[in-house]
């Protein structure tokens, strides 16, 4: 892929195309020497093609992704075999290459048996996703196993650059797909360097938004003095920001899943608003205005918090996605912890506004990089735009993307129901999902309220100033890096090799690392609670923070993988609901943390948090043992099966 192609897909490139009426940064279909692949021409010229499906329903040459649903939710068309990015799938079981150089042997793409195998697999995957409205309920294990098998096929196909033969629906529409198995427009075919660059941009975006929440903490004493408010009232600036980025995904997440919009317009438009609103926030002259602006900046900064993982899923295979997710979760996890470090020295030296200036200085360059270099990753959006270009090129209105066909009869009310009501419905009707939502909310609430105790311990017992307190938060970074190393080794040496050999396990297997890790938060909190005193060296309670931070990261990582596996077709909505649940409780925990520690003291207050974390130990083990039974009891799963 050339530099021109990279720049064209970014928002700046799309703006140039719009301003010049597509005279610059043209797509291949817009070049004068473009020739439509022969299979596509044959399909256009065949006046009476054989129906794609004997059942009267459309069958496509692409396999939808995990966002597809039986209830009309936007599918994610994908090549019949998406690229895996790990070495484990280069030689899948039963498909060992015979060449000495490790390259699969040449095979005839027209071979009937191979075509039959691919057609059967595509049909099975379509059935799993509910697009054919089967009467059998779909399990998440079936879904992921079908996708894994397709990715194994693609590990061979993409090295041969095989043509993708388009399909035609019974009503005559030609389904627009990738041209070849190694089509560079397919995000799964991007180079590792390009995917790493996109992942880095998304992680920086996420880090800045999360850091802006806690960077405010260092300014609270100055705000109390400047506006004459109490310490509890001053914490509203943090609480409202957290509430804002909990509400935002409920609106922005569904927008980014609409193929005609895609992810980039939502990302860039809201981030520009985030930066613009950060300017008056830093210069606010009254407390009420400051609070309103803090809420709005959190609200408009929120899309990355629910959609960052979806963007990574657009590019990475099933076995590679957990590695990318670790980077994204690390950015989100370390942001609130490192915020006080970034402002801890500048605020005492300058003024309380300095932390808000730092947020502006950090977010400004990030939004510029996003505007210049962040490409669109949504496959439905990319194929929809290709369909439009082909209709303009050929004058043939039969060229349509799968998303256009699926959304012909969709109404605004249907989108709102799926976006706002469906995640709440699943949470209420499914005991396993309900536990996960409540448990992550408790973890997040403890996470934010625990940080409020640091200024009550380190300055009082150890004589540290505001900047040195910020340095204590570095132990969260150490904890995160340690947890990443442990989880990486688990994936690389145990889980992924077993998946490559035996196939996808039940989703409760994803919770195995969380079982021993669930004891860590309780141990870390109690260690901090009863050693945070002047008679004991400061390193001892800091070790407790590190134990707490490392184990919470592993538990959250496992849960973030478990959530979409419960209901793959509603993964985006479930993430948005999860973000709302945990952010809402975190907002409340910021407010009750001061009275909690003020009335009970550091030891008893932190011990109370440690006692609450015991619920997580019991809950994770029960979920691992009885999760399958709980999902079988789900009223939502029964209703979904009834309507399929």
List, in order, residues 6 or more apart from 41 with CB less than 8 Å away: none
Calpha distance 621→632 (Å, rounded): 18
Average pLDDT over residues 52-75: 38
The DSSP bridge partners found for residue 79 are: 62
Give the model's pLDDT for residue 522.
Answer: 93
Give the model's pLDDT for residue 231.
Answer: 84
Decide which of 413 and 329 is more confident: 329
Give the model's pLDDT for residue 151.
Answer: 60
- pLDDT tens, 85-99? 433 333 333 333 333
For the chain, which residues make up each domain, given as ranges? 1-35, 50-91+113-187, 191-377, 412-644
pLDDT band at 436 (very low <50, low <70, confident <90, very high): confident
Average pLDDT over residues 288-308: 91
- pLDDT tens, 493-527? 998 888 888 877 888 888 899 999 999 999 999 99
pLDDT band at 607 (very low <50, low <70, confident <90, very high): very high
Q: Are 330 and 484 in contact (CB under 8 A)?
A: yes
Maximum mean pLDDT: which of 146-160, 305-319, 386-400, 554-568: 386-400
pLDDT band at 374 (very low <50, low <70, confident <90, very high): very high
Nearest to 303 by CA among 254, 276, 267, 265: 267
- How much of the chain is helix, strand and coil, in % rounded to 5? 70, 0, 30
Give the model's pLDDT for residue 130.
Answer: 31
In the predicted structure, residue 47 carries a pLDDT above the cut 70? no
Calpha distance 374→174 (Å, rounded): 30
CA distances from residue 154 to 315, 575, 640 in whole angstroms, order as listed = 14, 28, 31
With 0-12 / 13-18 / 19 or more C-beta atoms within 10 angstroms meaning exposed / middle / buried, residue 261 is middle
Q: Are 635 and 124 in contact (CB under 8 A)?
A: no
Q: Are 387 and 259 in contact (CB under 8 A)?
A: no
Decide which of 148 and 55 is more confident: 148
Q: Which helix (H) or strand (E) holds 175?
A: strand 174-175
- Token digits of residue 431: 């005991």
Average pLDDT over residues 539-551: 93
Average pLDDT over residues 118-125: 41
DSSP designation for 218: G
> Lowest-pLDDT range, 133-147, 309-323, 593-607, 619-633?
133-147
Calpha distance 217→206 (Å, rounded): 19
- Token digits of residue 516: 């021993």
Calpha distance 613→190 (Å, rounded): 42
Average pLDDT over residues 418-433: 73
DSSP string, 177-217: --SBTT-TTSGGGS-HHHHHHHHHHHHHHHHHHHHHHHGGG
DSSP string, 244-267: HHHHHHHHHHHHHTSTTT-SHHHH
Calpha distance 576→419 (Å, rounded): 9
Calpha distance 107→153 (Å, rounded): 13
In the predicted structure, residue 383 carries a pLDDT above the cut 90? yes
pLDDT band at 350 (very low <50, low <70, confident <90, very high): confident
In the predicted structure, residue 476 carries a pLDDT above the cut 50? yes
Average pLDDT over residues 445-449: 85
Average pLDDT over residues 190-211: 93
Calpha distance 495→503 (Å, rounded): 10
Calpha distance 105→212 (Å, rounded): 53
Q: Which fold has domain 191-377?
A: Growth Hormone; Chain: A; (1.20.1250)
In the predicted structure, residue 205 carries a pLDDT above the cut 60? yes
Average pLDDT over residues 229-237: 89
pLDDT band at 580 (very low <50, low <70, confident <90, very high): confident
Calpha distance 534→546 (Å, rounded): 19
Give the model's pLDDT for residue 356.
Answer: 93
With 0-12 / 13-18 / 19 or more C-beta atoms within 10 angstroms meaning exposed / middle / buried, residue 3 is exposed
DSSP designation for 399: E
In the predicted structure, residue 135 carries a pLDDT above the cut 60? no
SS3 589: helix
In the predicted structure, residue 119 carries a pLDDT above the cut 80? no
302-327 burial, b for 16+ CB within 10 Å, e for fewer? bbbbbbbbbbbbbbbbbbbbbbbbbb
> Lowest-pLDDT range, 93-102, 259-268, 448-457?
93-102
Q: Which CATH homologous superfamily contains domain 412-644?
A: MFS general substrate transporter like domains (1.20.1250.20)
DSSP designation for 468: H
Decide which of 129 and 556 is more confident: 556
Give the model's pLDDT for residue 114.
Answer: 40
In the predicted structure, residue 642 carries a pLDDT above the cut 80? no
In the predicted structure, residue 75 carries a pLDDT above the cut 50? no
Calpha distance 337→79 (Å, rounded): 40
In the predicted structure, residue 641 carries a pLDDT above the cut 60? no
Start-to-end CA distance of the chain, whole Å, equals 41
Calpha distance 339→477 (Å, rounded): 12
- Token digits of residue 524: 């870390």
Give the model's pLDDT for residue 276.
Answer: 96
- The answer to whether 191-377 and 412-644 have equal CATH topology is yes
Polymer length in residues for the chain: 644
Q: Are 434 and 588 in contact (CB under 8 A)?
A: no
Give the model's pLDDT for residue 287.
Answer: 94
Maximum mean pLDDT: which of 20-34, 246-260, 409-423: 20-34
- Token digits of residue 490: 């688990």
Residue carrying structure tokens 């809420």: 295
- pLDDT tens, 524-535? 999 999 999 888
The per-residue pLDDT of the chain, averaged, comes to 78
């Amino acid at each position: 892929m050339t530099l021109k192609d990279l720049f064209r897909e970014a928002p700046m490139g799309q703006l140039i195309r719009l301003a010049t009426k597509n005279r610059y940064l043209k797509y291949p279909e817009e070049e004068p020497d473009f020739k439509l692949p022969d299979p596509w021409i044959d399909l256009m010229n065949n006046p009476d093609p054989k129906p794609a499906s004997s059942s009267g329903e459309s069958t496509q040459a692409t396999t939808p992704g995990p966002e597809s649903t039986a209830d009309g939710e936007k599918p994610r068309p994908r090549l019949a075999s998406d690229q895996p990015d790990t070495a484990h799938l280069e030689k899948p079981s039963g498909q060992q290459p015979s060449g000495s150089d490790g390259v699969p042997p040449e095979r005839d793409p027209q071979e009937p048996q191979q075509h039959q195998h691919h057609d059967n697999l595509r049909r099975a995957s379509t059935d799993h996703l509910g697009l054919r409205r089967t009467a059998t309920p779909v399990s998440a294990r079936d879904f992921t196993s079908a996708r894994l098998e397709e990715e194994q096929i693609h590990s061979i196909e993409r090295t041969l650059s095989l043509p993708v033969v388009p399909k035609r629906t019974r009503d005559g529409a030609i389904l627009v797909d990738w041209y070849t198995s190694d089509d560079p427009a397919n995000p799964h075919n991007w180079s590792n360097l390009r995917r790493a660059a996109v992942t880095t941009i998304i992680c920086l975006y996420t880090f800045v938004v999360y850091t802006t929440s806690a960077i405010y903490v260092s300014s609270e004493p100055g705000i109390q003095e400047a506006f004459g408010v109490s310490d509890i009232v001053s914490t509203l600036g943090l609480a409202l920001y957290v509430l804002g980025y909990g509400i935002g995904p409920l609106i922005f997440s569904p927008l980014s899943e609409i193929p005609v919009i895609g992810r980039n317009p939502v990302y860039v438009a809201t981030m520009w608003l985030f930066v613009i609103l950060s300017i008056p926030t830093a210069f606010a002259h009254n407390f009420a205005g400051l609070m309103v602006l803090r809420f709005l900046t959190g609200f408009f900064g929120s899309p990355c918090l629910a959609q960052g993982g979806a963007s990574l899923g657009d590019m990475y295979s099933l076995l590679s996605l957990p590695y990318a997710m670790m980077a994204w979760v690390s950015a989100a996890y370390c942001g609130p912890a490192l915020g006080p470090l970034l402002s801890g020295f500048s605020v005492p030296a300058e003024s309380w506004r300095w932390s808000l200036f730092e947020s502006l200085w950090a977010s400004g360059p990030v939004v510029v990089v996003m505007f210049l270099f962040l490409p669109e990753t949504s496959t439905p959006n990319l194929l929809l735009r290709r369909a439009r270009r082909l209709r303009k090129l050929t004058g043939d209105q039969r060229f349509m993307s799968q998303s256009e066909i699926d959304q012909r009869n969709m109404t605004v009310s249907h989108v709102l129901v799926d976006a706002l009501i469906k995640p709440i419905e699943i949470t209420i009707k499914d005991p396993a999902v309900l536990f996960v939502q409540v448990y992550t909310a408790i973890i997040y609430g403890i996470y934010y309220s625990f940080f409020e105790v640091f200024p009550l311990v380190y300055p009082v017992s150890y004589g540290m100033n505001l900047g040195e307190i910020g340095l204590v938060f570095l132990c969260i970074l150490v904890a995160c890096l340690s947890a990443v190393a442990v989880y990486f080794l688990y994936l690389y040496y145990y889980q992924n090799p077993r998946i490559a050999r035996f196939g996808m396990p039940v989703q409760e297997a994803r919770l195995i690392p969380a079982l021993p890790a669930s004891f860590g938060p309780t141990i870390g909190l109690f260690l901090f609670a009863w050693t945070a005193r002047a008679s004991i060296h400061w390193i001892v309670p800091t070790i407790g923070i590190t134990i707490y931070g490392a184990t919470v990261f592993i538990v959250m990582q496992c849960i973030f993988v478990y959530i979409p596996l419960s209901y793959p077709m509603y993964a985006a909505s479930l993430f948005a609901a999860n973000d709302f649940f945990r952010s809402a409780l975190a907002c409340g925990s910021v407010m009750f943390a001061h009275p909690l520690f003020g009335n009970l003291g550091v030891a008893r207050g932190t011990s109370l948090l440690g006692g609450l974390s015991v619920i997580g130990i019991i809950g994770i083990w029960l979920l691992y043992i009885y999760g399958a039974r709980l999902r079988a009891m789900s009223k939502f799963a029964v209703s979904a099966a009834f309507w399929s």
